[in-house]
Structure 1
Amino acid sequence: MKKLVIIPAYNEKDSIVNTVKDIKDNAQGFDYIVVNDCSTDNTYDVCVENGLKVINLPLNLGIGGAVQTGYLYAFQNGYDIAVQFDGDGQHDAAYLNEMADYLVKNECDMVIGSRFIEKEGFQSSFIRRVGIKYFTFLIHLLTGKTITDPTSGMRMCNRRTIEMFAKEYPIDYPEPESTVRLIRHKRKIEEVPVIMRERAEGVSSLSSVRHSVYYMIKVSIAILVEKWR
């Protein structure tokens, strides 16, 4: 099976090389593609200088647009499995083959790497944990499905989910909304335990209360629209 790691990157110059090295060293059988989302630092130059496979977007599309670019690349190049993987050093590539085996064995449409099943490793900031618990509650209320880590950026998809996301994908903060979309289409989603690290470089866009409140309101509306559209 052809397997691809999609690495959306915005201002990840200090961590992108180590992220790709982690994949090469610990996820044999996976290809990768870095999607540089018009970074304002020299992320693209670092990719080129180190011979990394990179798509350089001419405009900043946001996380959703960058990830959708990766899914489109995966679909057009015949990949059977694609996994989103953060470029900031939080994710551990050693879990990718386990996730792929689980996805195939259990005939899942998506497998989410969750840090909250065994609750080991970095558990995110307090503000973000509050948001995660809220979205877990909201998704369960609307769909009956419990997703312990609905904002996880470590999400692996099969071929038919790749095709769906290549055609249409949420733009801002897409993980909870796209999860509800899959549930609405009766796709099979499961979670597996993973250990995540604290980000190696940079600052989360949800590091302040103001941004977190904005995020929760905006994504809540998007989830409600997705549920009943």
Structure 2
Amino acid sequence: MNAPHSPTAHAVNADVLSPSTPAADLVAVVIPSYKVTRHILGVIAAIGPEVGRIYVVDDRCPDGSGAFVREHCRDPRVVVLEHAENQGVGGAVMTGYRAAIADGAKVMVKLDGDGQMDGSLIPAFVAPILAGEADYTKGNRFFNLERISSMPPLRLFGNAVLSLMTKLSSGYWDLFDPTNGYTAIHADAARFLPFDKISKRYFFESDMLFRLNILGAVVTDVPMDAVYGDEVSNLKISKVVTEFFAKHVRNFGKRLFYNYYLRNMSLASLELPLGVLLTLFGTVYGLSHWIASAHSDVATPAGTVMLAALPVIMGVQLILAFLAYDIASVPRHPLHKRTRFKRKED
């Protein structure tokens, strides 16, 4: 493995990372930079010695944040990367991932540059990955119920709705707060991701979960508190509702096809289509006879009612059975432990 170009070389023998454990050969931080010049120096300063490399990706920032960091930041761990064209947060993160992997990083942490994410939590995000318990970790701002009140009501409602949609589309039923951008990933898992296909804009976090599920990667939530200051969000709720819904439907269909028909077949592969067909048949049949009965003012026979109700009941039961199977199929065995590469040390 090519050693990262860090200011100091360290040896790490512990499986679990702590703030006092140097890890220049292990951990890199990727910071997408777009209109965050007011906060980014403070974000970098809060990153502890457990991180050996910091990649600041200037995503064609109109404020010139890349040049700003070069001029004012003296941290030797910082590398500034610049895009010729704006690619969105996902595009910036992918650029950082590629650079970190090329430099030999083992774990890559994505940290926003707007000051909402506490850099002191990096060890908590990295520890499950180094311990071999997860391939990908993400923040969950809903864990501490006492602190949820600090979240704006609109964001609170939006995250609840998006969490439900993400559970369906990604297959990670045990996760919450899908739009949380505080994440960490093992390099061996990241290598399998189709970087060029992952959404580059605000759907990036949700699309990452979909891609990780297709790979069978283990994803774990990490409790954290939300921090809201004077940062300005570029995310428009009205746009998210329509754009995210369409993309979640697309990913849900792809996941079903990949996991239940293309790569594997099981009883659940039959339960879902049969359940949908029976439910639709019973609904359409029942509604058509109900409308005809209303127009003719003649009561619908009991046999006709039963013929409409039974398919609906059976169809709903089959759909619920499929959902139970899907929930139980959340990946449990880390991908990077199953596909660990043997690298030659320089």
Contact 1:91/1:197 (8 A) holds in 2:
yes
The answer to which of 39-48 and 63-72 deviates more is: 39-48
Report the Cα distance in structure 2 between the residues aligned to 1:227 and 1:162, rounded to whole angstroms: 21
The one-letter code matched in structure 2 to 1:21 is A
User: Structure 2 length normalisation: TM-score?
Assistant: 0.60
The one-letter code matched in structure 1 to 2:239 is Y
- 1:74 matched residue in structure 2: 100
- 1:29 matched residue in structure 2: 51
- 2:232 matched residue in structure 1: 203
The one-letter code matched in structure 2 to 1:34 is V
Percentage identity across aligned positions?
Answer: 23
- 1:53 matched residue in structure 2: 79
The one-letter code matched in structure 2 to 1:190 is T
Question: Is 1:9 aligned to residue 36 of structure 2?
Answer: no
Contact 1:108/1:189 (8 A) holds in 2:
yes
Task: Tell me the CA shift for residue 160 of structure 1.
Answer: 2.5
Change over 3 Å in CA distance of 1:216–1:165 after alignment to 2: farther
Contact 2:89/2:200 (8 A) holds in 1:
yes
Task: Tell me the CA shift for residue 147 of structure 1.
Answer: 1.9
Report the Cα distance in structure 1 between the residues aligned to 2:168 and 2:251, rounded to whole angstroms: 14
Q: Which runs of 5+ in 1 are unaligned?
A: none
Report the Cα distance in structure 2 between the residues aligned to 1:82 and 1:166, rounded to whole angstroms: 16
Change over 3 Å in CA distance of 1:9–1:122 after alignment to 2: farther
Change over 3 Å in CA distance of 1:6–1:83 after alignment to 2: same
1:194 corresponds, among 221, 224, 227, to 224
- 1:224 matched residue in structure 2: 249
Change over 3 Å in CA distance of 1:43–1:29 after alignment to 2: closer
Contact 1:122/1:197 (8 A) holds in 2:
no
Report the Cα distance in structure 1 between the residues aligned to 2:149 and 2:179, rounded to whole angstroms: 14
Report the Cα distance in structure 1 between the residues aligned to 2:189 and 2:240, rounded to whole angstroms: 25
Question: Is 1:147 aligned to residue 175 of structure 2?
Answer: yes
- 1:100 matched residue in structure 2: 126
Question: What is the RMSD computed on CA atoms of the aligned residues?
Answer: 2.0
Report the Cα distance in structure 1 between the residues aligned to 2:148 and 2:49, rounded to whole angstroms: 20
Higher relative contact order (CA 8 A, sep 6+): 1
Task: Tell me the CA shift for residue 9 of structure 1.
Answer: 0.7
Task: Tell me the CA shift for residue 18 of structure 1.
Answer: 0.6
Question: Is 1:215 aligned to residue 240 of structure 2?
Answer: yes
Contact 1:68/1:166 (8 A) holds in 2:
no
Change over 3 Å in CA distance of 1:161–1:62 after alignment to 2: same
SS in 1 for 2:46: helix
Report the Cα distance in structure 1 between the residues aligned to 2:135 and 2:101, rounded to whole angstroms: 15
Contact 2:28/2:105 (8 A) holds in 1:
yes
Change over 3 Å in CA distance of 1:40–1:213 after alignment to 2: same
More strand per residue: 1 or 2? 1
User: Structure 1 length normalisation: TM-score?
Assistant: 0.88
- 2:260 matched residue in structure 1: none
Report the Cα distance in structure 2 between the residues aligned to 1:112 and 1:81, rounded to whole angstroms: 13
Alpha-carbon deviations, 1:4-56, whole Å to 9, x = none? 11000101111111110011xx3523421100111111312311112442112
Change over 3 Å in CA distance of 1:122–1:152 after alignment to 2: farther
Alpha-carbon deviations, 1:150-173, whole Å to 9, x = none? 001101001123223473321121
Question: Is 1:19 aligned to residue 40 of structure 2?
Answer: no
1:130 corresponds, among 127, 140, 157, to 157
